[in-house]
Structures are given as structure tokens and as C-alpha cells.
Amino acid sequence: MRRNRSVKVIATLGPASSSPEMIEKLFLAGADVFRINMSHTSHKLLEELHGAIRQVEQKLNRPIGILADLQGPKLRLGTFQGGEVRITAGQTFTFDTDPAPGDATRVHLRHPEIFSAVKPGDNLLVNDGRLRVEITDVKPDRISTRVIFGGVMSDKKGLNLPDTILPIPALTEKDRADLDFAANIGVDWIALSFVQRPEDVAEARKLIAGRAGVMAKIEKPSALNVLQEILEISDGIMVARGDLGVELPLETVPARQKQITRAARRAGRPVVVATQMLESMIVEPVPTRAEVSDVATAVYEGADAIMLSAESATGKWPDKAVATMDAIARSVENDAFYRGIITAQRSEPEPTSADAISAAARQVAETLKLSAIVCYTASGSTGIRMSRERPDVPIIALSPITATSRRLALVWGLHCVLTDDAHDLDDMVSRACDIAQAEGFAAPGERIIVTAGVPLGTPGATNMLRVAYLNRD
């Protein structure tokens, strides 16, 4: 099954889309990877969803990626007398260590780490940024604030601290248990929430121990300050615009999205743009024009994947939302301006043989108007480096390792095929030609270009390219 687009589509599974029948519908509609939100998923349900996806994969004979998204730390208020209170701009409000129910002047804050980390002038946001207070004074047992934006404050609402680096790890005990279980059953990507610094990603990498790719979610302003360091230690990046849009001024989020996307492309790390892309399709059968434009922007930027959240998890039209995302992506990639924009953003190759070969393969394929680039990749690195070039030619990634082909299902432009290792160079070229024809990328008499590492089967040693003709039988 060949997708007529290069950008990939991620669909989140949930109550509206957890049946094997709907999972198959979503894949046929265009989903390349399925996201499972561990905030709402037990280990038993994760195992069931994993099994259902693998059944669809086996039935349709196409590798499918699975991304487990960890919940991360959740900062929440205590409770109030009567369940809620209203605060007004200009008044004072106190957060303290007293567990008694709060009122219109104070509430319990059950996170001692916050008291030692904040300082006067820092902002504290409540309920996804709907309420904002500025800290005026900090004591060991209380934080005094002035209300900037008032409103209703209710039991256990979430907190955001955009100006503060909190001394808490990105992984809670729940996350550690979820991570280990997900990696053990064979998910392909683990998305890490609440990343503030590279050490958060390093901790997750150590626990995953190569069993899955590590995707750092950029949703904290502090992470933007060390973005390059986070990129270096991550396998992929997600632009998590929901929390990022809460903690940053809304008008700055589009520029930050471009900054993160381009930095990830330069580093050769797959980048996912997520959150509220087709939000209205939770209840409506068609998106707004603004949402279509938003999805298109991510595609024009060269993102590896675009993601649906509640639209496919709890919405009324999960398969229609995926089909809409697929249609928008295909339309953008067929636009006359698309190729020029993608090419203008291309980075110079790194001084490695793998990057040099990938750049050369792209140039040869485009100059000779070849039908496809076929790359052999065991670890996945060759496929990712080839994708980094964003060629105007289809890329077929051949791998003998099932886990690699599933992980690469998220990467821009890669059509992944599971195949046995080649015996020698002649077998490698012959196998590449046969698969290119069988998968519908080339016809007899056309040419493809093949890249691989010699000796065969050596991970990360891409050092050979060869132009091959498909025989006319």
C-alpha cells in the first residue's frame, strides 16, 4: 500500500477509535502511526491496543508505528470550599502548604518543589492559562500573588509555571512503569512529557535501553533554551503546541513551531507537529479553513508527521479526520510552490560518509529523473539521513529488522518494506529492483538508485550508491 504523500499522519486512539475495525479504517484512511495516550490508558488496554494494531499490520502487510505518550508530572491545585471560587484582577491570592479547603483568598498547593523554585515576578497559570497571577512574595510555606487575569478557580485544576525551571524529573513513578511496560511489549516510540533539560531525555534513554525511539515533547519554554542539546540526545521531537501555547504568548507559537521544525530538520531528527490541528472535527464533519491552513503550514515546513489528538480519540468522525488530514497533505505536496519551499530549507550535509552518500543519491536521482531511491537500513539511520535530504523522488527503505521498519513509519518520505538481508551486491541490487517494481514505484526499463553500507549489514556504514535498471522481461 503506497501513500501518495511524504509527510506522515499520526492518529491518537481513544474511546472513538479503539476497536480493531476502526483501527483498520484509520490506517486505510491514511494513518501511518498510532499514538496511545498513557494519561488515559491502563497497561491492560495498552496491550489490547498494541495487539489490535499488530493484527491490522499483519493483515495489510505494512509496518505500522506505535507511539506511547507518557503523562509526565501533573501540577494541580488543592480543593475549595464548595468546589470553586471566583477571583478578580488586582486582588491578592495566596498558595500555601495548608491542606484545608481553600476560599477566595487562598488554596493549598501540594507541590513543595514549587515553593523552593519560584521567585517574585514569576507567573503562575491556572486552568490552561485562563487565569494568571504574578508572584509578589515567596515564603517557605506560602506564595503571595497578585491576580492578573481572574475567573473561576476550581478543585484540582492544573498549574503551569512558564518562568520557572522546576527541580522535578520528567518521569514520575507512573511514567517509569508505563515506559517499561510499553517498551517490553514492543511499542516503537516513547514520547516524553515535561522535558525541561537534556538530562530529562538522558534518563528516559537509559531506561528504554534501545527498545524504542525517544521522542522529546517540546512544551516548556525552558526546553527552547536548550533545544540543540535536547535534539542531540533525542531520536525525535514533538512540537506540543497545547502546553507551549499556554506557557508562551500565543502570538509567538507559530514562530517557535518553525524554529523547532527547522532545528530538527537540520539535526536530522524526525519532527512531529501536534495539538488542535483539526480541533473542530471533534464534533463537525469538516474542519475550519483556518485549521486546514494550519495543517498545510506544517506540511510546507517539511515536518515529518502531523498528529491528530482528540479528533481521532474521542471525536465523532475519527476516520474522516484522518482522511481530511491525508487530503490536505497530498494537496500541499502537489502544489507548485511546495518543492521550492522544501528545497530552500534544505541543510548542508554533515561531514560523514552517510550524509555525503545521501546528498549525492538525492542529486543523482533528481538530475537523472530516477523513479526511486532505495536505501538498505538496519538501524534506521540511513533511512533517516536520506529523509533529511527531502528528495523530489520516492524513498524506499528496506530493512531486515521489523522494529526498524515500524519506527521509520513516522519518518518523512520513507516507504518501509521488510525484507531479508541481501547475500551480496548483485542480490542487493536485484532485490531493490524487484521491490521497487512490486511496490509500484518503478516499471521495467526505468532506473532507480540504491544506497547501502559495504560490507553488507554494517550499521551506520552507508558508503555506496549504484544506479540500476529494471530489466524488461
The residue out of 160, 185, 215 marking a domain boundary is 160
Please tell me whether residues 238 and 332 are part of one structural domain.
yes
Overall average pLDDT of the 185-213 stretch: 96
- Is residue 17 included in any domain, yes or no? yes
Q: How confident is the model at residue 457 (pLDDT cuts 50, 70, 90)?
A: low
The torsion defined by the Cα of 447, 453, 454 and 455, in degrees rounded to 10, comes to: -130
Tell me, what CATH number does 419's domain have?
Answer: 3.40.1380.20
Task: Output DSSP code: residue 347.
Answer: P
The answer, yes or no, to whether residue 335 has pLDDT greater than 80, is yes
236-279 pLDDT, tens digit per residue, is 999 999 889 888 988 999 999 999 999 999 999 999 999 999 99
Paired sense of beta strands 462-469 and 8-13, if any:
unpaired
Q: What is the mean pLDDT of the chain?
A: 94
93-109 pLDDT, tens digit per residue, is 999 999 999 999 999 99
- Is residue 249 included in any domain, yes or no? yes
Determine the number of helices (DSSP H) and then strands (DSSP E) in the chain: 17, 21
pLDDT score at 416: 96
Q: Is the peptide bond before 455 cis (omega within 30 degrees of 0)?
A: yes
- Is residue 77 included in any domain, yes or no? no
pLDDT score at 1: 78
The torsion defined by the Cα of 430, 434, 439 and 443, in degrees rounded to 10, comes to: 100
Q: How far apart are CA 448 and CA 431, in angstroms?
A: 12
- Is residue 2 included in any domain, yes or no? no
Residue 146 belongs to what domain range?
84-160
Please tell me whether residues 178 and 68 are part of one structural domain.
yes
Q: In DSSP terms, which residues pair with 307 in a beta bridge?
A: 10
Q: Catalogue the long-range contacts made by 396-401 (C-beta closer than 8 Å, 24 or more residues apart).
A: 396/372, 396/432, 396/435, 396/436, 396/439, 396/441, 398/374, 398/431, 398/432, 398/435
Please tell me whether residues 16 and 88 are part of one structural domain.
no
Please tell me whether residues 38 and 150 are part of one structural domain.
no
The residue out of 128, 160, 192 marking a domain boundary is 160
Tell me, what CATH number does 118's domain have?
Answer: 2.40.33.10
Please tell me whether residues 17 and 104 are part of one structural domain.
no
CB distance 219 to 239 below 8 Å: no
10-38 pLDDT, tens digit per residue, is 999 999 999 999 999 999 999 999 999 99
- Is residue 388 included in any domain, yes or no? yes
54-71 pLDDT, tens digit per residue, is 999 999 999 999 999 999
The residue out of 341, 362, 388 marking a domain boundary is 341
Tell me, what CATH number does 285's domain have?
Answer: 3.20.20.60
Please tell me whether residues 180 and 283 are part of one structural domain.
yes
Tally of CA atoms within 13 A in the half-sphere of 407 that contains its CB: 31
Please tell me whether residues 94 and 139 are part of one structural domain.
yes
**Structural domains in the chain (count):** 3
Please tell me whether residues 155 and 290 are part of one structural domain.
no
Provide the whole-model pTM.
0.93
pLDDT score at 460: 60
- Is residue 3 included in any domain, yes or no? no
The amino acid at residue 341 is I
Give the residue numbers annotated as catalytic, written as ranges: 35, 76, 217, 275
Match 519551499 to its residue by C-alpha cell: 341
Q: How confident is the model at residue 425 (pLDDT cuts 50, 70, 90)?
A: confident
The answer, yes or no, to whether residue 463 has pLDDT greater than 80, is no
Please tell me whether residues 326 and 254 are part of one structural domain.
yes
229-247 pLDDT, tens digit per residue, is 999 999 999 999 988 988 8
CB distance 389 to 395 below 8 Å: no
213-228 pLDDT, tens digit per residue, is 999 999 999 999 999 9
- Is residue 347 included in any domain, yes or no? no
In percent, the amount of the chain with pLDDT more than 70 equals 99
Q: Which three cell numbers stand for residue 141?
A: 510555606
Overall average pLDDT of the 357-382 stretch: 94
Please tell me whether residues 371 and 436 are part of one structural domain.
yes
pLDDT score at 459: 62
Please tell me whether residues 241 and 305 are part of one structural domain.
yes
- Is residue 165 included in any domain, yes or no? no
Please tell me whether residues 260 and 112 are part of one structural domain.
no
Q: How far apart are CA 406 and CA 66, in angstroms?
A: 8
